[in-house]
Structures are given as C-alpha cells and as structure tokens.
Amino acid sequence: MIAASVHVASPPAWFRPDRMTSSLGLFAGASAQSWSHDHIDAAFLPVPRASSGGFARGWSPARHKSGLTTLFDGAIDNRADLAKCIGTGEHLADDALYAAAVATLGADADSFVIGQYTSIVIRPDRSMRLARSPWNGPSLFWMAKDDVRAACNIPRPLFACGFPKRLKPDQLAESLFWIENHEGGYFYEGLQYVPHGAIVDVAPDGSAKTHRWYDPHDVPHTRFAKDSDYVEQANELLADAVRAALAPAKRPGILLSGGLDSAIVADGMLRQLPDDRRLHSFTFVPQHPFADTAAPGLFNDDEPRVRAFASMHRRLDPHFSDNDGIDFDGLADKFMAACDIARPGMAISAAYHGPSLDAAKNGCDWLFHAAMGNNSFSQDGRWAYLEFAKQGRWSELWRMLRDHPGDGRPMWRRLLARSFLPQLPAPVRHYARSVVHGTQEPLNAQASLIRPEAREALGLDRLAERTGDLRRGEWFRSRREWLDFIWRSHDLGAEQHYAAEQVYGLKMRDVTAYRPLIEYCAGLPTDQFVRGGVQRFLARRMAANRMPAEQAASTDYGQHNADWHLRMTRRLPGLRAEFERMRHNDVLKRLIDVEAGLKLLEEWPDRTPADPRVIRRHFHALTGAILMASFYRFTHGSNE
C-alpha cells in the first residue's frame, strides 16, 4: 500500500505525517517504510506482514528527472512493451517505469499500462496526480484541508494523520438499503474516491478534476473465421494473465471452487509452474452436520468436485475449511479496522475467511482467485434472451429457454418473462409482474430491516433509483446494459481488497481481472457465450482437458454460504441479544426495525428455506442490520 501527503507552506498543527506512516503498518506489525523531502511525506508498505526486524530502511519513491515524485502499488504486466513505447530500459522498477511513462505520455500514460495498480504522482508545482487501473484497480482515496492534501489506498492513515473522521449523516441508512452514494464523500465527509480507469488531478488549493480516460464500451469487436480460434485466443490471453499473476509468487495458493472459472485458472497455473513446484488450493465447505439437498440448478458442497479435479492434477494440494468459529460477523471488526468501511454484504463474503486464513497458515505469500471469471470468459450471455428474439433466431432462443438451469415453468411463461416482457417500458414490466406475483418490494427492501418511516423520510427509493441501486431482480436487456452493470459493480468496495490483505496477512490478486482478456471477451459475438442451449459456451470449451468432463458440462452453480441457516440457528439467543442491544441506541432504533428483526428470529424456520424471499429476510436483512449496527458503533466509539 502507498500513502503520500504534500503541503506548500509550514504544515498546520493538526497534521501528523508520522502517524500516517505508523497507521499504514497497523496490521503489518511495524511502521511502513517512509520518506520526507521538501514538504512531501510518503510511505510504502511492500507486503502485509513485516519480518521480525521490521521493514528495511532507506526506501524512497521514484524521482524522475522531470521533477515527478511517484508512488506505485500493484504490478505492470506489459513491462517490455511499455518500456519500448517510451524508449526506456525494461530494467526499471515498476514505480520508476510508471514515472517515466507519465513524464513521456502525460494524461495518456495509463492507457498504455496493463496491470492492476494505483499510483500517486506529485508534480513540481505540488499538484497531485492520482490514478487507478481499470477493472478492479485497487482503491485510492484522498482528502484536502487547509494547505494539506493527502492520498492513500485506505482511509485509516488519512484519519490518523489528522483529517476529520465524520460519517456522512445518512450513510448508515443508505448502506442499510444497499445504496452506494458517494456524493459529499465516500462514507465519510470529505473522503474522496478515485474511480477505476480514471485520473484525478488535485490542485495545490485542493480543487480537483477527474479524467475518466477508460471507456468499457470502447473495445474491438473480434470476429474469426473458425470457431476454434475464439477458444485458442481466450486460452492464450488467460495464459498471459496467469503468467503475470505468478511472476512475484514464491508459494502461490488459489481459492478453488467446484465450478468452471477458478478450476480453469488453477489448471493454467499448474501448466506454468515448474514441475517441482506445487499449487495449494483452498475451498470453503459447509459445517457438519449440514446435509441439505440443493435447489434445482445449484450445488451446496464444492469438496467432491474439487477432489475430483485434484485427482487429475497431482501437483495440486487441496485444503478445505468449514470456517470453524467464524460466522458472518466473525472477522467484521478486523475488516472495519482495516479499511474503515462496512456494508451489509460482508455477510456474503465471510465464507472466504477460513480458506484465506488457511492459505496464510500454510505459508502462501500470494492467494489468487477468479472473481471476474463470470463476467469475462465464463459469461453466460443472458442478454441473448432479448437479442435472439429481436433477431428472429427462434431456434437458438427456444434451446436457451428450454435448457436454462432451474427454470421449471411452462415454455410460454419462460418466453414471455425472459424475451418479451423485458422489452416493455419499466412501469409496464413492474405492473405485469405484480399481476402474476403480487406486489413485490424491490430487492433492497426485501434484504433490509430499515424502518419504513426512515426509508420514506430519507427518500431512499428515489435515491436508489438515481444511483442505479434500486434492484428488482431483472436480467440484463442488452450487452451494453450488462457491461455498464459490471463496470460499476467492479468499482464498488475496492478497499476490501486491501482490507483482506491486511486481515489475512498475504497478497491477493484476481487473475481473471486482466484487461486484455476482459476486453477480448466484451467484444465477442453472443453465440460464443451461449449456443444450442448451452450457456457459458466459451468457458466449457476452454475447460476441455483441464477438469473432469462432468464438472465442465455441469450447469449447476455453487451456492455461497449454503450452511447459513445451520450457523445462525446455533446463535439464535445471541442474535436476539444483538437486536435487544439496538433498542438502547437512539440512532439505531430510529433506523433499524428492531421489532421486525426480533419477529424474524421468533419465526425462525426449522430448515434451510428455498424461497429466495425468505432467504433475503432471514439471512441478508438480519445479518445486514447486525453488521451495520456494529459499523455504527465502530465509527462512533460506542458500545451501545
């Protein structure tokens, strides 16, 4: 991680750059490396955990002859091409190479850099150039007050050095309703966020301009003469992504599921690792005695598939974790301390805590995953329901409707719901669904325990509509709509990447968030993703000879947190106590419907429910309320 501050005159009394350095290393066990010169203070944390002697002294940011002072965190994957482009040596470290690119190419520099990174560049006039790579670029924040401007990958060091830490007045309510509204600050007043695929120029007076140089729709449309060429090119790009990811890893690990994406990546890693090196995989499994039958189109336990995959790959060492002692809120306090941010959705990602901690215990220095796989080479092409109908490709549409996993409705209803109803205006769509299913609250409301009067008074439905967060469960109606959605969704919560690295104690990377691979897939014809009723068509062909045929052909999706009901049932008395505790806090009881939460716990189902609406209330709404109450206490230093 990186942090830097700059001021023109003497620093104000409130500003303490030394605290920025020590805060950056809070989880590392030692202060970060630091450097100060001519009103610039900089800090760098090279790895999440320091050795017994702390971090080496003598670090300094890259200083270019043009006067640029550059901090860089992440990796440049196209070093040779970039060095050739700007006419410099490939031997340069990443920060120096990036500095040379900015000095040579100016505002266009980032368009020539392939990698997952953030950067802070301080110019001779003391203005700051802040940048994030597109597609899952790690987070970067900045604040300005008086004569001081500072930037860091996480908010904590900014608050530690003296900037005020004030939660936005309506932030808790907005988060409870699953809204991402960054107007006025990112969760906190004055905390500004650099978007991915963008450059923010912060002037010496604290004013800022944002240049969004990356357009996710500006990708080439790839068309080959042979079908096999699409698979070959995807495999080549995936191999490039794997090569870039593995470069710094001495003992790599991977979060491995029983699906397609991570297994394809794991196979790709084993193909590139030397024959005498092994790959460790880490997988979440449900706790004993969970044995529920999965709903149609889903599977509950990844272990049998992972073991079958491992039997094909003798250099894979599989590890399994049931998150013993770690429930939906088990590490919430540490994640809040790591990044000062919390969301109700933290309960969903809790399944990764045990496997990730196991990776650190097994000595892995890097833990890889394939989170972007479903939105790149493993895309299912759901917009095809409308595209095929509009193009009159009735045979393809019929097969797709017939074979969609878990849909047992009559064909005429599938056709109406997936191909014709979505073409109507939104009010007509919503009315038609209410006639069939009854009046349906948006998913935000179904998964939230915010009080109705607070929801109305704060206009949360209108705000969610404006920010694009009012969710009604509709599928994408076009490729463009899909791309807009994933572009925005992959920019949200980027600070959790650094939170995870701090809490788990190792470096992490999404191998599939590789820009050339993403852009290639975004420009492919739809029938590369779905054909003859087979969804994820490209990924299934890429999976050939990489995994058991049964796994490659399966249309079932893995169920995250399949054992949530078992875990929460064991904690019912404690969960009731959490809601009773909310009664004693004036802010929480005005926002959270404590009575509704207690009623849900009183009417707790005897077995894991299959109805998604029941799951939203009993899992998402209950856990979200508890997590956001904890976040409120964290930000206000309260125990109530």
pLDDT at 90: 84
Residues with Cβ < 8 Å from 205, sequence gap 6 or more?
A: none
Distances in Å between the Cα of 610 and the Cα atoms of 14, 175, 437, 506 are: 55, 26, 17, 36
What tens digit of pLDDT does each residue of 556-580 get?
999 989 999 999 999 999 999 999 9
Half-sphere exposure at residue 237, Cβ-oriented, CA atoms within 13 angstroms: 21
Q: Collect all residues with Cβ–Cβ distance below 8 Å to 438 and sequence separation of at least 6.
A: none
Q: Give the pLDDT of residue 539.
A: 98
What's the chain's Rg over C-alpha atoms? 25
Please give the order of strands across the beta sheet that includes 252-255: 316-321, 279-284, 252-255, 366-369, 507-510
Report which residue type is found at 322. Answer: D
The reported pLDDT for the residue numbered 431 is: 84
> pLDDT of 234-278, one tens digit each?
999 999 999 999 999 999 999 999 999 999 999 999 999 999 999
Per-residue pLDDT reduced to its tens digit, 109-126: 999 999 999 999 999 999
Whole-structure pTM value: 0.95
282-299 pLDDT per residue, tens: 999 999 999 899 888 899
DSSP H or E segment with residue 81: helix 79-86
What pLDDT shows up at residue 582? 97
Convert the pLDDT of each residue in 621-639 to its tens digit: 999 999 999 999 999 987 7
**154 burial type by CB count under 10 A (0-12 exposed, 13-18 middle, 19+ buried):** buried
User: How far are the Cα atoms of 112, 123, 124, 241 from residue 67, in angstroms, in the given order?
Assistant: 21, 6, 6, 33
Scored b (16 or more CB within 10 A) or e, 408-431 reads: eeeeeebbebbbebbeeeeeebee
Domains in the chain: ranges and CATH? 2-155+191-211 (3.60.20.10), 172-180+447-469+564-607+609-640 (no CATH), 227-378+497-558 (3.40.50.620), 384-446+470-488 (no CATH)
For the chain, what is the mean pLDDT? 96
Question: Residue 272: its pLDDT value, please?
Answer: 98
Token pair recorded at residue 537: 């068509």
Q: Which pLDDT belongs to residue 52?
A: 86
Return the exposure string of 30-40: e unless at least 16 CB atoms fall within 10 Å of the residue's CB, then b: bbbbbbeeebb
Per-residue pLDDT band for 9 (boundaries 50, 70, 90) equals: confident
Q: Encode pLDDT of 185-233 as tens digits.
A: 999 999 999 999 999 999 999 999 999 999 999 999 999 999 999 999 9
Amino acid of residue 500: A
Residue 89: pLDDT band by 50, 70, 90 thresholds? confident
pLDDT in tens, 415-452: 999 999 999 998 888 888 888 878 789 999 999 999 99
d(CA 517, CA 540): 16
Arithmetic mean of pLDDT, 509-528: 98
How much is the pLDDT for 434? 82
**Model confidence band, residue 99 (pLDDT cutoffs 50, 70, 90):** very high
Q: What is the pLDDT of residue 426?
A: 87
Higher pLDDT, 436 or 519: 519
pLDDT at 53: 86
Helix (H, G, I), strand (E, B) or coil at 31: coil
Q: What is the mean pLDDT of residues 164-184?
A: 97
- Closest C-alpha among 218, 370, 197, 202 to residue 281: 370
pLDDT for 462: 97
Q: Give tens-digit pLDDT for 290-326.
A: 989 988 889 999 999 999 999 999 999 999 999 999 9
How do the residues of the chain divide into helix, strand and coil, expressed in percent and rounded to 5? 45, 15, 40
For the chain, what percent of residues have pLDDT higher than 70? 100
Task: Express each pLDDT in 11-27 by its tens digit.
Answer: 899 999 999 999 999 99
